[in-house]
Structure 1
Amino acid sequence: MKHFFKFFPVFILAVFFNSQMFGQVSEGGTPYSFQRSIVSTTPTIQMPEVDVEAYLLEDEIDAQTKNIPFRFGAPHDVELTIKNSGEWISLPNGDKLWKLRIYSPGAYTLNLLYNDFWLPEGAKLFLYNDDRTDIIGAFTHKNNKEHGEFATGLTRGDAVTLEYYEPSNVNYPGIISISRVVHGYRDLLNTFDVEGFGSSGSCNNNVNCPEGADWQDTKRSIAMVLLSGGTRWCSGSLINNTNVDMDQLFLTANHCLGSSNTWIFMFNYESPTCANIDGPTNFTVQGSTLLASNADSDFGLVRITEGIPESYQVHWAGWDRRDIAADSVVAIHHPSGDIKKISFEWDPVVSDQYLGTSGVPDSHWWVTSWDDGTTEPGSSGSPIFNYNHQIVGQLHGGYASCTDLRGDWYGKVSMSWDRGTTPSTRLKDWLDPGNTGALFLDGWDPTVGDPDAVPPTTITDLTITDVTSNSMTLTWTAPLDTSYQGTMEYYIKYSESPINEGNFDAAMDIPFTAPKEAGETEMLIVEDLDFSTDYYFAIKSRDFWDNVSAISNVPTETTWGIPEAEVNPTSLTFTVPAGSSWVSTVNLANTSAHNSTLDYLASIENISFPTGAVLMRLKPVETANLVEASGAKGDDFYGFGQLIEGAGGPDDFGYQWIDSDDPNGPAFVWNDISASGTQLSFTGGDDDGYSTSLSLGFNFDFYENTYSSVSVSTNGVLSFTPLTTSYRLNNSIPDTGVPNNFIAAFWDDLDGDDGQGSVYYKADQDKFTVQFTNWKKWVSGGSTGDYNFQIVIHSNGKILLYYDEMVGTLNQATVGIENITGTDGLQISHNANYPPSNQFAVQIWVKPDWVSTEAGSGTIYDGNSVDVELVFETEDLTDGVYEADMVFTTNIPDKSQIIVPVSLTIDGVVPVELTAFSAEQNKGEVRLYWTTATETNNRGFEIERKTSGKNEWQTISFVQGMGTKASSTDYTFEDKSIQGITNVSYRLKQIDFDGTYSYSNIVELELTPANFSLMQNYPNPFNPSTKIEFSIPAASEVMLKVYDVLGRNIATLVNQMLEPGYYEQNWNAESLSSGLYIYVLEASPVDGSGGFRDLKKMVLIK
């Protein structure tokens, strides 16, 4: 197919140089035009548009079993050379410069393949993106390959410029012939600085997390490979051979093979910490030669042709060719082209054929189910290691993912070893070139240095501290060892009799993490010891070369005796009204008369609900649609829907819903955040786009998991799994097909591309809001409708959906929630007319535990006690008797559990009926208003306040109640201490004369002023004190100064950075004489926006 390209000039004045990103083996340096002011019109060649949706749909099919390499890019085959494209610039000294800019609209990355590449000595080629944040090169004659092919790695963005410098005295002209431009349609390299880096599933472990501590050497053998014409990724590993000669042999999968001359290998692409952030991309080499392959076990072995620099510090992995199932295995890989991950299977692998149904019998190791982590497309070709860190297979394919417990199949090294009859079809000729007959081989690091026979220094300061009834704490100084990586391991022993060199090995082991640096203090808490028992401890240390130190000093101590426990009260019984909340305590004491420690774990168990406390379960049943949707944009879809009116649920997890149509349903509340929130921008645009991950500001429990961030789709869906597409075609709920793990407020093929609609989000202290404003529905030829709705997530687990004005088609959307696997969900509506009216609300919540404790666990020394709080919440509960057990699990042998029965009766009687509670802001104070309809034994109300950035409620005042009163009473309270506060919440703690209490609902206010202002002082005139009030709408550096009529600075009242809020400053002029004074307020916002200055006059009269 012949391609037609657009040519247009781009005017560039090259004067600045930034940094290098994707550093293949090259000379480095700076492009010629960056060092000199060269005005040039660089020709640009534009690639055709890429149908990303079509590629993604194909990828979903390819991803089913991972036996096709992970694709990230779309190829544009071209014929671009230094003769038929670009611009030649003659330099004053006779040298020449050739430049060409390639542009592919919408690309996240670009990379190039060359079918003819040969540079003369002295010539240099650079590639860089438009903002010069990514610079590749210089490539020189040292990058020439005999076969003439070449490839350059990824640059971020949708445009790349090639700049080729050729001296006048070269022996022959250079050859640069570009055969392919690869348009990256997946954001592998985090082009847009996405929070929470990476496209792989959330269950994966970064290799530098604690789980990977024992695999820090082995991980350096793993690389991600850019292959298949520059459009796909696989994983693989450097592998050792019996000559231990650092032959650059690289093991991957047979299904990854093809065009290995142009492969690019990226080592050390990993997060530097356990956090999910981007890693370095500059540890790359280019080019390889195929040595051997075999489809039966799906192995491919290549030799990397470009020398791997010593600075990469790579590792050559070991192998085991025996056909013995490993007891446990570890995989290190690059799922979905992401930073390096590590996965664990603690059970033995199983000998099997591929997928259990095809191929040669016993050709693969089957990982039946990953215990920690998983694999994904892009992991293909990565090795699995046995517990000796030796490769036993490479990934062929499978079904495993974060949401699928089925396993993976790895081609066996044992079959790859000699399955073939020639060196090109087996491993043995390459991994055992001397035919030694070795059955296994350890990995090798050229960086470890020469072996030595010197052990680590002997530990002489082992000390026992903090003795309890069942534990002791050991401390010592980490010993010194001068060999590779210092001290590698501790052998820590304990016994009930003295330990010496002769019986050291027979003593009991204590596991420990990796040693610290020499000279640092080590600490280990030894638990689960017997009461009143003598214990002895000793340590030896081992280094990399298996040299073991002498035994340490051997300290001894005796554990304390058995504790005794009492609880008070021994049971709890309450009768309360519905909708109340309060706190009670149970005292747990260690009453033993001797030295002892009581270890306890507090929990609430056996929680029961009265009959009828749970809503009737209603589950919609999916029916077949009479119209089949093709999934193509432009095919309007209409189907028969399902709708349950008023209320429904629970689902299997316990979520239920209720809407405004039910008499007990939620009230419609619309807190417009279009002014106070942040407007969202979407990857992919406002039609079929999705946001980055947005921080909630709190942890939110959703089904079995806890989340701290969400992503938003333009199609009315909020997802707890980071989105990579918008999912425009709505499904019924539940559905195991993607997407899962979401809240669908109005899931339809929506469209904000007309420029009239916006989506906002706002994270408050206890809630997170997403608001769709004037959003449209996509239809053939344009968009229609006008949809305004909110999703509000509360930190207590409730979800509120508010529909303000919904104008347009309402019977083609899905409303509901679904768990992470798509096996459970709560459907409110699917392709039915919903919501039924404007100003409509839906509440989704899970049946609450009416009693809970956060006491957790602790230790109580003899003669001490602890009060364990129980929190009672009766909101949304019906009348009846509720029962539970508060259980203390202890370390007392004959009293391992202490049970305190708890009984709660809700009878609907309301001692104090609160009918209204509200708050309003008035300049520098907040006024609270509340009304009671009746009161019974009401001592009064404590006013509690919680401010932004604080987790605890603070009691700020008390208001006397009316005792017992049958008529309505209005109350008011003014909070004047709100300086510097931007967000505030209030609640009332109503207290009866008998000490029982309950809490009101919570009211929230934003106290951020709209404008800067400086008020007139009061009083004025004054003697000798006055008050000056001012407001700050944005964080600012603020100065408030007082001047006399001669312009002299008399006093500086404020000189500091202030947060948004209302402020007042008192000034005492007792030492000054009567007269006119001027006070001046100056504010400079820290965000760089416009400043503020104002002044006012005041009169001091004595």
Structure 2
Amino acid sequence: MSRLFYSFLRQRNFFTTLIAGVIILFYSSPIFSQISDGGTPYTFTHGSIQQAEKISMPAVNVAALLAEDELEQSKALPFRFGFPMDVNYNLENSGTWMDLPGGAKLWRLNIISQGATTINLIYNDFWLPQGAKFYIYNENHSEVIGAFTARNNNENGQFATGLVRGESVILEYYEPANPEALGIISISTVVHGYKDVFKRLEETDGFGSSGSCNNNVNCPEGDPWQNEKRAAAMILTSSNSRLCSGAMVNNVRGDLTPYFLTANHCVSASSPTNWIIMFNYQSPGCTNVDGPLNYTVQGTTTKAKSADSDFALLLLNTAPPDSYMVHFAGWSAIDVASANSVGIHHPAGDIKKISFDYEPATSTDYVPSPYLANSHWEVASWNDGTTEGGSSGSPLFDPSHRIVGQLHGGWASCSSITQDYYGKFSMSWNRGSTPATRLKDWLDPDNTGTLTLDGWDPTIGTPDLIPPTTITDLSVVDPASNSLTLNWTAPSDSSYGGVKAYDIRYSTLPITDSVSFYSAAQISGVAPDTAGAAENVVVTELSFNTAYYFAIRSRDFWNNWSLISNNPSGTTLAAPQVNVSPDSLHLTLDSSVTAVGTVTVSNISANPSSLNFSVSLDNNLYPTNSVSVKLKPITNERNNSVNLSKDENPLKEPRGLSLEGSGGPDLFGYKWIDSDDPNGTAYVWNDISTTGTLATTWTPTGTFDPKDEGYAGPFQLGFNFKYYGNIKNQVFVNSNGAVLFAAPTANMFSNVQIPTSSAPNDIIAAFWDDLDGRTQGTVHYKAEGDKFIIQFTNWQKYSATGSLTFQVVLYANGRIMFYYNNMNATLTSATVGIENNAGNDGLQVAYNSGYIHNSLAVKFAADPEWLSSNNNGGILYNGNSADIELTFNSEDYPQGEYSMDLIINSNDPSYPEIIVPVKMTVNYQVPVELTSFTAEPVKNETLLRWSSATETNNRGYEVERAVVSADKSNKQFQTTGFVKGIGTTTERVSYTFTDKNIKVGKYIYRLKQIDLDGKFEYSPEVEVEITAPDNFALYQNYPNPFNPSTTVEFSLPVKADVNISIYNTLGELVTNLHSGSMEAGYYQIKFDASRYT
């Protein structure tokens, strides 16, 4: 019987999963594996390898499968995305063997399933000798799983491997010389993914399919649950087709037997023999950053289960390695309701989440009834977070951090604040009559009578009294009016988990000892990074023009506190002064008209200062979607004219501006959005410092060292990249943090605002500043499928200061991503944005302003669809301004007056809120309602037809024509005719116009409808192509006979020399009408014979 590859739709319980969850699991990382040794396949590093045998699978009737899916959906049957095919491929009957030096052997097999989106393999016999390695990868080597070794051998010989994207996979088996026995690899099933549901992280603008109300487990609210989070894990069930959650549990002996608790309905749907348990799939911080996928264990054995309380206790076939840092959770078998509850789970296959219920749990049966009475704990409604499909089997903790149940099911979601049901641990403990139906025999094997047990970590180690190292390089940078930025290097600690917490203090008085330290104000929510990493935090809500002192202590797992750090100081800038102009806005519009009104906000303070502002609309009486808001930075020519020498500090005072969250579009249509925006792109760091190619050849742009002032490249992208409508296929990397498409010809240490006509143009500025790679740092590049990555690692600012690690990623679909990983330097002297090759269009995100921070992503795209954003705000240093553009659309709105308030909130202490009244008056008028507009080529003429349903005061239509340029972006319209209008009518009117004697080419036409009072508006554009004739031809002149003139017509399929002459009946030349070269096309020449009589 073939094995089905499917996933249930959510119904009553949480075994079900959305397929997007599976997408994330397999493709957020290039490697997905069970416990494996990693490494590189032999063929990746050795040339001249014999081609592997190719086996093509039978064609899959996708239409029939989709039709079956429709029927199954109507019957509420499981959702299916893969089609399994039974096969018998093994080392004996398939593949290609080759001998290697020293007696080793290599076997390879290429399996092709035409049209598959993924391929997945199941093995009915699998055994590898010591020293053997087995890999699976796709043709371009971008996805590799393995190496699988003898450690993956199971007693039952069964095995399964994860999905590889695409229609072709290559299996590679390396067998050492003189193995103790020959390896066995026998494939029983090839699963053809026939639905295009697997998309990479970068294509989805984020990851994870769970609702937005879920809390990442590493957010501050999850801090007290750091041990328990390491117990919770995600389950990939049989055939990698379904998802559940569960948790490792401790036992009374404390012998670290790898018991795993989940839900019975997860087990009852499929055998857990080949299940894969995934630990530590969580964001490293509070932001939505994807987690690691390689902390996995394959294979489990069921020890006990019962449908009454929906529990299943599994034994992992392999204990998780110490490197997984797994926690064995405690539990309570006492039947007492928790005062409050916490759930840790993987909703919809997403990174690990945590949910909180602050009310007591209720003892009940499982709904829908009838069910066993008092078998479940009911969480009536989650106060913070929720659960979803994929959360099934996840643990419910009481306030003592002990498991009291596992999730059976319910209806809770972000959009449905309803109940969830957890099978009681207390009922699972001793209800069954045999060890196969209860927990007690396994978790208390010596029958000690223990009913509560705390959790335990096998890797904690022995307590010590040694504190973390003392921070000695704390510094204060990037002053603003209400904030200062702290930079330091993360300290180290040799005990379990390293440094666990910071205590950061600040005061207006020096911090010199423990008394002044603990008297100072505290900054919370900063989690320690790994030892040696660059750390920074922005301290906000500080007073204007005030000196502050800072100090840090750090703590390890055993509550040993470090000595107090050095205590630097910094002074905030002066108070800003906001100015808003005009102080009111009133537009009068006709119906169905779009207009733009502008309000300018400026920081006019004479002192160095930063204005933080936000824009909102209130008391809005406008119809829905009739007004939109956009922020645009105003280029400050004073800033662009500042010329600094190489050794001059560009930050004697900050002088720039930045916007928050999102911006655009520019003239071409590019928009940007960052990961700080609630609807923004995700920050995902794909480090290439060890896998990419090192940029070693640098060319100077002047007299300085080329890694200080110079460029590397060109580097071939490997695809056509469209940038502002122009195709690019190579890039140059400038040492000052920018990417260009032509080699720069001058030094770039002085960044400017963009766009600007002065060079350099055609620039992608990730962090354009005076940077310097002479003393440390590297630049790597890597072509990876449909993207090209450029990474600056530990690059410095000029004079060997700071450490900057960031990326520019270009995608074949035209998207651009900036990723800022570790930005430990002064960050208020850079330009961030993009600009076209003429310097007259671009998007500036920040200029010499405090915008960049660690773990930030910025996306640029000219996509037809864009995530909406309500973030309207930014930072203006003194002397800078931004325009608030309000676009009004009076489409079909009744005549009358509409009003609202434009509210500008800022940190100006004198004017924290400024209200600008905005009014729109609509004068109702029947417009010229165009119902059709077409263009038809007729030889060398264009026939235009259009109709109007109604007209009011219509003087007429100017017909305008433009030649289509190569990129369609440069349209030069010219008037080619005028058609008189009817004036005013409510009846349908039809018009025609013929544009004659047009050369071969493509043209765009539009109508300029002009009212009697001079107002006008343009019609939509239509495009037409005048093609060359197929043949040379001279047509019959007309009229014929004629008196006194006639027209000679002829056609040229290509450019040619043409001679048109008139002869009389005696064969004598009368006149020559034309002699010379003519382009391809249709031509008419008029001959007037009156002067030859």
When the two structures are superposed, what TM-score results if normalisation uses the length of structure 1? 0.49
When the two structures are superposed, what TM-score results if normalisation uses the length of structure 2? 0.49
If asked which structure has higher relative contact order (CA below 8 Å, sep 6+), I would say 2
